[in-house]
Amino acid sequence: MLPAFGISLTTGIGDVPPTHRIDLARVGVFKTILMPVAAFAIARWGFGAAPEQQLLVTVLAAMPSAQNINTYAAVYRRNESLARDATLISTAASVPIIVSIVGILR
């Protein structure tokens, strides 16, 4: 499936409607910032998890979108370009986000 994702990156070049950019920004912020924050809050205050467990849950929530997103979008022919771009954005943003999380919670 990874080659299919690579090929899909070349097909999305061109003008992108403004609504796509807004949706992509929402998805990016949700996946890279809000998901880890929510996971940390639930682990800490909801379950009273130990600091090591809080770190683990938060890092797992900050992991990039999986290839599954692209596969589902392709199979059901829904928002394939948004799925592709969101996967790319979350993958690129996940490294500095995870490094920051580890630096803050360690």
Query: What DSSP state is assigned to residue 43?
Result: I
pLDDT, greater one: 66 or 28: 28
Q: Mean pLDDT across the stretch 74-88?
A: 86
pTM of the model: 0.78
Computed over every residue of the chain, the mean pLDDT equals: 85
> From residue 12, how far is each of 9, 20, 21, 37, 60 by CA, in Å?
6, 12, 13, 31, 29
Q: Band the pLDDT of 99: cuts 50, 70, 90.
A: very high
Question: At 50, is the secondary structure helix, strand, or coil?
Answer: coil
Q: Mean pLDDT across the stretch 44-56?
A: 96
Q: Write the CB contacts of 98 (distance below 8 Å, at least 6 apart in sequence).
A: 59, 62, 63
